[in-house]
Amino acid sequence: REHALLAFTLGVKQLIVGVNKMDSTEPPYSETRFEEIKKEVSSYIKKIGYNPVAVAFVPISGWHGDNMLEPSSKMPWFKGWAVERKEGKADGKCLIEALDAILPPSR
């Protein structure tokens, strides 16, 4: 929460939400838990001033490397992320693709 508020306050326009520790959910890699977190975080970032439609939500497990560099077979329910911005649309399956979709800031 603090990171999102600080980022917005400092003028960061683009955001990626990596939902980490998916291997620790009950049951492991739970779609229900991911959607619960996505809904809660979307609501919060909207109050701050971000448009949730322009934010990529990616379920990951940093410990096991799931959905970091390539799509994980442990989360077959995750069909990918998609964002819509003024500059256009972007989509992908894993965190590295979300990072690659960040547009460089204009000077």
Domain count, the chain: 1
pLDDT in tens, 14-64: 999 999 999 999 999 999 999 999 999 999 999 999 999 999 999 999 999
- As a whole number of angstroms, the distance between CA 50 and CA 94 comes to 21
Reply yes or no on whether the pLDDT at 107 is more than 90. no
- As a whole number of angstroms, the distance between CA 52 and CA 39 comes to 10
Question: How many CB atoms are closer than 10 A to CB 78?
Answer: 21
Residue 107 counted as domain residue: no
- As a whole number of angstroms, the distance between CA 104 and CA 45 comes to 21
pLDDT score at 5: 96
For the chain, helix (H) and strand (E) counts, in that order, are 3, 4
CATH number at residue 42: 3.40.50.300
For helices 2-9 and 31-48, what crossing angle results, to 10°? 40
Residue 105 counted as domain residue: no
Domain of 53, in residue numbers: 2-100
pLDDT score at 64: 95
pLDDT in tens, 70-106: 999 999 999 999 999 999 999 999 999 999 999 998 8
